[in-house]
Chain A
Amino acid sequence: MDILVCIKRVPVTGAKVVLTADEQAIDASYLSFAPGPHEECAIEEAVQIVKKHGGSSTALTLGPDAAVEQLRYAASMGVDDLILLETDEEWPPMPTARAITAAIQAQEKKFDALLFGNESADAGGYQVGIRVAHALGMPVVTGIKKLEFEAGTAVAHRQTPAGWEIYEVPLPAVFTIKEGINVPRYPSIPGKLKAKKKVIQRIAPEEGDVGLEKVRLVVPEAEASDVTILGHGAAAAPQMVELLGELGLV
């Protein structure tokens, strides 16, 4: 099976978000970057599918030249081929989906399954995978936490508050993955070395109509915090029990 996994480079923020002066992005001068958590699991899933069923895995990202780092990370986890759709800044969902669709159509390889993250960690648009599926005429199942393949079909499990929903679709198909489907591996040293040498296919897409036009980002006001220190170490136990009592929990 030939699997494509689409990932996005996002900053790894800590406890506080600082914006750039033009309010268009998170100031990432002192931050590292990673694929979003859902996508990291999608990479792991792609690698596991290929290990089980044979075939190949390809990782694709739309983003700046620096996103090569996330492609190589995917390769270090075991992905075979890498594609960069190089842009200068973040694109909204519509042009992103158009560019990914065009890039898939331009590949000689015909993928059996396209994996996306259920939603990007940063923008959270909830739509790129679905748009690509429609453009390619493929079925799409979202929010997947378990995926099995059998003779040209896939059984996909989606978790809801009311339990698991089971879907069955013919391939090729699109799946949007959620964290929890697997525990992504840490790249091995040989994996990292191999990833460094991978050739990256570069495409320069055209943005066109944006549809949803970002004006600026805003950090919402933090709720006022007024912490009461109950004490230090084991000696704080009586105060803690007092609190539990006040809250009616003991």
Chain B
Amino acid sequence: MILTLIEHDQGVIDPQTFGMLTAVRGLAAEQGGALHAILIGADVAGLAAGLGDYGVTAVHLIEQESLDAYAPNAWAACVVEVMAAEKPTAVVGVGTERSNEVMAHVAARTDLPLAANCLAVQPEDDAWFVTRMRWGGTLHEEARLHGEPKLLTIAALGIEVETAPSGSAPEIIAVIPDLTDADLLVRVISRVEPERKGISLTDAPVVVSGGRGVGSAEGFAVLEQLAALLNGAVGCSRVVTNNGWRPHAEQIGQTGTRVAPELYIACGISGAIQHWVGCKGAKQILAINTDAEAPMVTKADYAVIGDLHEVIPALMAEIEKLKG
């Protein structure tokens, strides 16, 4: 049996979880084993039934008032308890910040190895052969994962979600965990809504992004104007945040935000791999750069070779002309 961790927040299952279930379902079938899930929280029973659509045949349901706020170590304690009782061959989470965190707690509690952000998993007799993401996915590592059971998370962003043909409601197995105060020590005590000003980076159809080539904090004024004209948001490279020209919340890339707009306009950005992983999800990329050889230019769909300080104002004037 493979046990999967269902990630959810405020009553909604994280959509990437279904990608993980899609991937792991095949793995469980190959091994002739069942696909189980573990659902942890204060009021989560309602989320269980839908998991049948993704091939889950049994849900270990842990519902307890003390679990109303996310508490990573307590979640891990629950997983370890179900592991001990059910002896799965593997415990699998999704490669998100939260599930990676919970699975690392599980690994630490059981002194087992953990492979985070796996792209491919091949069960073998002893060690499993995994391919996992490094450098935010720009480099892959092939590795042997030891230990019993196998602990891993699946990088699910690129997985196309498929439902299972005979999706009947899973069996519900209620579990009452034995949680200590120490397990519950680290928990969310309050939340602050995200500050919303204008359209968010991840929702914007257009991201106008600036790099070192913009030259200064003031230089971003034209990028802001262009973004406003296109109902877009402003992004930037790490050089820009390191220089204090823009806040880190706008940084695109491995250690920033990943965006997937209709159009990504990269102004004065060279296209280092750590930046590229953040914008490659865009449907179209337009690079504006003085250097025709810059990787951002050669990897983009469209490019304009030139000084962004001339190109962007000319573009805005042309748009204004069109709008009359």
Q: Which residues of A contact B (CB under 8 A)?
A: 13-17, 26, 37-38, 92-94, 97, 118-119, 121-127, 130-131, 133-135, 139-143, 157, 160-170, 178-180, 183-184, 210-220, 222-223, 225-241, 243-244, 247-250
Q: Give min CB distance, B96 to chain A, whole Å.
A: 10
Contact with A along B30-44 (1 / 0, CB 8 A): 000000000000000
The A interface is mostly helix, strand or loop, or mixed, namely mixed
Write out the residue numbers on chain A whose beta carbons fall within 8 Å of the beta carbon of B221: none
How many residue pairs link A and B with beta carbons under 8 A? The number is 262
Indicate which residue in A14, A161, A179 contacts B272 across the interface (CB closer than 8 Å): A14
Residue of A with least CB distance to B232: A249
Q: B residues within 8 A CB of A241?
A: 315, 318-319, 322
**How far is it, in angstroms, between the C-alpha of A238 and the C-alpha of B187 when the chains are bound?**
55
5 contacts between A and B (CB under 8 A): A139-B185, A180-B248, A230-B302, A232-B305, A243-B286
CB-based closest 4 A-B pairs: A211-B113, A180-B248, A15-B295, A234-B314
Residues 225-242 of chain B, each 1 if its beta carbon lies under 8 Å from chain A, else 0:
000001000000010011
Q: How far is the CB of B139 from chain A (nearest CB, A)?
A: 6
Closest to A180 in B: B248
- Asked if A26 contacts B114 (CB within 8 A), the reply is no
Q: How far is the CA of A126 from the CA of B136 in the complex (A)?
A: 12
**Are B140 and A220 interface neighbours, CB within 8 A?**
yes
Chain B binding surface, main DSSP class: mixed
| Residue on B nearest A11 in the bound complex, by CB | B135
Alpha-carbon separation in the docked complex, A130 to B106 (Å):
10
Number of interface residues of B (CB under 8 A): 99
A127-B104, A230-B304, A241-B319 are contacts. A212–B113 as well, Cβ < 8 Å?
A: yes
Residue B105 interfacial (CB < 8 Å): yes
Instruction: Say if the beta carbon of B86 comes within 8 Å of chain A.
Output: no
Shortest beta-carbon distance, A174 to chain B, in Å?
10
| Bound CA span A61–B274, Å | 23
Q: Which of B298-324 contact A (CB under 8 A)?
A: 298-307, 310-311, 313-315, 317-319, 322-323
Q: How far is the CB of B262 from chain A (nearest CB, A)?
A: 6
Contact flag A225-B315 (CB < 8 Å), given A17-B135, A250-B230: no
